Amino acid sequence: MEDEAVLEVAREPEPTPAAPARLEAITQPGTAGPTDAVATRDVTDVGGIGVWWVGAHGGAGESTLEQLVDATLAAGRAWPVVGPHSGEPRARAAVVARTTVAGLHAAQQLTRQWATGSLDVELVGLVLIADARGRLPRALRELAALVAGGAPELWELPWVEAWRTEQPSLATAPRAIVNFTADIAARFPAQPATHQPEGMIDAHHS
């Protein structure tokens, strides 16, 4: 009888390991709160700028994109908002993030903030820049797809090993990045200038 009892216990299925709590929390809807709001920047003139790169977090890569794509500007971690009485068109912006869990989470908060309709900004898309060489793990691929669903368009840029030791440039960029820069330049040309550029931006918190 004791042998039978031991056999019955051995046949019991092992519990399925739980998914990491952090990743579960990130992929659940409705996690953004008031403290997740990103600052805005008053833009008095969008002339000469086709797209503003809005960094979802530190080191997202918006400054690199400014270097690579003509007529674009890094806005830092802030939304470029044109004054309501300036007569200027809305600023075009793209959210930029790395493909880490934290980076994707940060991008998700920005797209949700934009989706509330409280920002007078034209979001043109989301740029995800690889944080390492190689294919993303499945969990991150699924999370990236979820986050991308909150943006009008998604651009995915690869890791560039050469840029670890030298300045980013189109001369050393892979074809995917060269094509991306051409696409942005063709689809989002610089808007016409109407004011002088001096004192163009004044940062404040919304």
Residue 30 forms part of a structural domain:
no
54 belongs to a structural domain: yes
Per-residue pLDDT tens over the stretch 110-135: 999 999 999 999 999 999 999 999 99
**Average confidence (pLDDT) over 89-96:** 93
**Per-residue pLDDT tens digits for 5-23:** 443 434 444 444 443 333 3
- Answer yes or no: is 16 within a domain: no
> Which of 94-103, 154-163, 193-202 is predicted least confidently?
193-202
Residue 94 has pLDDT above 60, yes or no: yes
Is there a domain that residue 42 lies in? Answer: yes
Segments forming the whole domain that contains residue 113 = 35-204
Q: What is the dihedral of CA 30, 34, 38, 39, to 10 degrees?
A: 160
Q: Please, which pLDDT band fits residue 36 given cuts at 50, 70 and 90?
A: low
Query: For 150-189, how does the pLDDT look when each residue is reduced to its tens digit (9 = 90+)?
Result: 999 999 999 999 999 999 999 999 999 999 999 999 999 9
The CATH number for 105's domain is: 3.40.50
Question: Residue 68 domain-assigned?
Answer: yes
**30 conformational bin, left if phi > 0, alpha if psi -120 to 50, beta if neither:** left
For the chain, how many residues are written? 206
Assess if residue 17 is contained within a domain: no
Could you tell me the pTM of the whole model?
Answer: 0.76
How many structural domains does the chain have? Answer: 1
Does residue 11 belong to any structural domain of this protein?
no
